[in-house]
Structure 1
Amino acid sequence: MSSNLQIEKTCQWCKKTFVAKTTTTKYCSHSCNSKAYKAKKRREKESKYKRQNVIDYSEQSIEILKSREFLKVAEASALLGLSRQTVYNLIYSGQLKASKISPRITLIKRSDIDEMFSNAKTLQINPTSKNEKQPEFYSITEIKNKFNVGDTWAYKIIREKKIPRIKRKGKSYYSKTHVDNHFKKHLSSKTREVNDWARIDDLMKELHMTETAIYSLVSRVGIPKKRDGRHMLYSKNHILIERGLIKKEEPQYYTSEEAMLKYNISRDSLYALIKKYSIPKIKAGRYIKVAKTELDNLFNPKVD
């Protein structure tokens, strides 16, 4: 049967007033009860640790210990500034001599402590070379400014290419090597064939678009762009394609055999070039076809 008692009490954890149904209830909720239990266990653990490892000695007491010929393990730990367990480890390893005069009493000669330090090997610490190269990272702002991409495009690349990331003081930084390698391949392949660069004001007039609309399109789909002095240039052809004003030309492809024959290279060499320079390829049935324009430009680069 449920209790009909209603006793107004104060929670011993949160100090709020509540109505209890038993005289032994101390807490207003299971949450307070759990928090109080964890706090109690934490205090017990801290108290146990202090009893085992920490003895509070005054400076005057330390001076007295220094003058004693024999020390207990607890006194030696206080004198050395080590835990009792560490002192026992030194004894068990043979580094520190000790005498067990009874099942519960172990004594250490003060002179044996000095001898332990006299016989200890000098630790040679090699300072870290200042010239050692550390991994470098970009902030998201540095990526945007250096490669002229917007937030959406930058995070899309980071997510899809799984760019390594670290946290520093709550801010994210991305591997410079991985970012540079991606943009080196990405920009070279996308801008190689662009020959109709245009400034933002020219695009606004010709296409009747606002500056904001152009920037949004460039950032959203990754329109090729490059800097020319103080001005940023954008691929007009790519913008026209994205707006549906012109039809995108289908790329032409070599078969693997055609590419190998034309440039006198082996199949392994061809596939290595495809991977290294991110040359587009498709699979047609059993055969691999390689983008003709990108491969031609690789072997016969255009000189501006």
Structure 2
Amino acid sequence: MIDFQQLKNDLQHTPISHLGGFLIDAVSNKFANYTHGELAQWQQLLDSLPAVDASHIDLKDGVNIGSAADLSSQLSDNQVTQLIDQLKTLHPWRKGPFNLFGIDIDTEWRSDWKWDRLLPSISSLKNRTILDVGCGNGYHCWRMLGEGAKLVLGIDPSQKFLAQFSVMKKYLGQSPVHLLPLGIEDMPQDMENKGFDTVFSMGVLYHRKSPINHLMELKNLLGRKGELVLETLVIDGDENQVLLPKGRYAQMRNVWFIPSARALELWLAKCGFNNIRTVDINQTSLEEQRSTEWMHFHSLENYLDPENINKTIEGYSAPKRAIIVANK
């Protein structure tokens, strides 16, 4: 499922070439310690996917691979139906959307909307080495490649996300984009400024018991003068406002700290970041996060007060997300 040789080749001639052996060992140890899971099932599914050549690939305006004509010219109707069934086996599809040979994988999140909000306010990704922490199925990793990145590494411990990513990787070929089933705690603890040009952490901070430690971990993974792109839940308020939910927040169990954007800017400054700027604050809409044919579990509308969509079902302010950019 992971092409370690391609990973090593892509790392060559980058400032992070020294990570090759470390990352391979980390993934090997992670796989060795899995006592349960569905990796074998996902690998079997990937091996059974039909070979289809894509007539075109567009990663600039979305993740668009081939066309419906590619399927009709290369597969029978039964094979097309089987392919769609195989893709739906990987439900739930959270981040996206993807268009794979005309198959519209309409994911829970319109992750393209978030991308459109942040892209004008970050440094050009052209020829940069990028780390996407908590990348899910790697949707944004492909968009980073579409912006000209030299190498993109996504990390996320979910086996199913790895399988979803591997579907796209199969049809996109030898692209310098890799997803490893690791958490940030599995990454090197001392990069000595030999880190990534850009590090993304989107939708992760509020799941960490120690947000300051997370910010310091992100800083450690950046190269000298590297850029952090941080997206997370926020509340309204001044630099002293932080919400610590008593129980769940919007039905999420593991939400620890939700600061105001101004408080988060202060945290980043105390961690040694500079050029800190909040570039977007946006309340998540029912159009941006919702149930679909490809993710038919409960979604945002089930987590809000039915009498007031500006409140969560627990009575907190509805989810609002900020994008903050900072430099090491």
TM-score by length of 2: 0.19
TM-score normalised over the length of structure 1:
0.20
- Bigger radius of gyration: 1
